Amino acid sequence: MTHRIALIPGDGIGIPVTEAALRVMEASGADIATESFPWSCDHYLQHGRMMPEDGIETLRGFDAIFLGAVGWPARVPDAVSLHGLLLPIRKAFVQYANIRPHRLLPGVEGPLKTRNFDILCIRENTEGEYSGAGGRVHQGTPDEVTVETSIFTRAGVERILRFGFEQAQARRGKLASVTKSNAQRHSMVFWDEVTDELAAEYPDVAVTRYHIDAMCARMVMAPETLDVVVASNLFGDILTDLGAAIQGGLGFAASANIDPTRRNPSMFEPVHGSAADIADQGIANPMAAFWSAAMMLDHLGQTAPAARIMAALEAATARGIGTRPGRDTTDAITTAVIAQL
């Protein structure tokens, strides 16, 4: 079955890594048909919108979305680019599970002494601290007030935790639920309560509750003790950037924005951002894009091409290709990975 993929290269290094990922997917034998959309900060500057008014409906007809990178803060404020493209896609398609794998590829050196960790971070992706609720009054005066409201629904918290339990069942049977319930006595206490309720339905999963600060320390001091980690939108955002650091950097950090019901297209993206400082130098590391592409193909049921891509990129990094920032060009890394397919 041919799967239709919407490509949104976006900004900065998102453009070359998306091109590289497409080359690798085609070389892997993936059965895909792609269409590219120029939605980006350039599009915003030209049209006043990050994507057209009918952008969501356009994407709805695809099986999956591959995003390169969004944002160019020197030209468009991050709040505009984020709320104009990335967040609307996640919310419109109910991509409530953000999945990020954290492990060291062969040949990649991380900052920790241990190499023996394999963590799957699952971040709630559509509500919580990034709900966008709130407001400002009396702006520009000494009495200015700003309110940012986090929204946690039972449906939203339960479904992300249930997804985490299911992933733990398929892995090593351990789930870490992350909150700050000693200080946030409403939303985070509620999260803990739902965790305890669901734990009774998954007796084969060992559940441990952590506060966000303790989890940050554990990911540095004892990452090998962790399996599946589930957190809110904000805490998951923080933890997954820490996860990228311990796996060797953002050049290896892949992600998936999933609608587990499969009623809507899911979106896959490397998490390194647009990296404006190196955007025109040809040295962007496409490994995270390749890993994200493999996650997309696996999600679509094209497991053989997905496995070939992962084996190829691991063979390349084992030879030292793409393991040091700026040493290898994007094209050289791509060519090396394709040679292993």
Q: Domain with 136 in it: what CATH number? A: 3.40.718.10
pLDDT at 311 over 90: yes
Whole domain around residue 151: which residue ranges?
111-246
* Same-domain pairing of 280 and 196: no
pLDDT in tens, 255-280: 999 999 999 999 999 998 898 888 88
Which of residues 190, 212, 246 is at a domain's end? 246
* Same-domain pairing of 53 and 15: yes
* Cα separation, 188 vs 230, whole angstroms: 13
Residue 187 resides in a domain? yes
* Same-domain pairing of 265 and 240: no
Which of residues 246, 272, 303 is at a domain's end? 246
* Same-domain pairing of 203 and 230: yes
Provide the pLDDT for residue 76. 92
Residue 141 resides in a domain? yes
* Same-domain pairing of 116 and 60: no
pLDDT at 176 over 90: yes
* Same-domain pairing of 241 and 124: yes
* Same-domain pairing of 88 and 151: no
Instruction: Report pTM.
Output: 0.94
* Same-domain pairing of 240 and 120: yes
User: What is the number of structural domains in the chain?
Assistant: 2
Query: Model confidence at 185, in pLDDT bands (50, 70, 90)?
Result: confident
Query: Model confidence at 326, in pLDDT bands (50, 70, 90)?
Result: confident
The mean pLDDT value of the chain amounts to 95
Residue 105 resides in a domain? no
pLDDT at 132 over 90: no
Parallel/antiparallel/unpaired status of strands 118-124 and 128-137: unpaired
Residue 251 resides in a domain? no
* Same-domain pairing of 189 and 304: no
Which of residues 246, 277, 308 is at a domain's end? 246
* Same-domain pairing of 200 and 273: no
Question: What would the mean pLDDT of 65-91 be, rounded to a whole number?
Answer: 92
Provide the pLDDT for residue 275. 86
Residue 104 resides in a domain? no
* Same-domain pairing of 168 and 282: no
pLDDT in tens, 142-167: 999 999 999 999 999 999 999 999 99
* Same-domain pairing of 239 and 320: no
Q: Which pair of structure tokens corresponds to residue 338?
A: 């394709």
Residue 106 resides in a domain? no
Provide the pLDDT for residue 130. 83
Q: Where are the alpha helices (DSSP H) in the chain?
A: 14-27, 41-47, 55-60, 78-81, 87-92, 154-170, 187-199, 212-221, 233-246, 287-299, 303-318, 330-339
Long-range CB pairs of 314-323, under 8 A, 24+ apart, other chains included: 314/105, 314/106, 315/106, 315/340, 316/340, 317/105, 317/106, 317/107, 317/108, 317/287, 318/105, 318/106, 318/107, 319/107, 320/107, 322/251, 322/285, 322/286, 322/287, 323/107, 323/108, 323/109, 323/248
Residue 255 resides in a domain? no
Residue 271 resides in a domain? yes
Question: What would the mean pLDDT of 190-196 be, rounded to a whole number?
Answer: 96
Q: Which pair of structure tokens corresponds to residue 121?
A: 């971070």
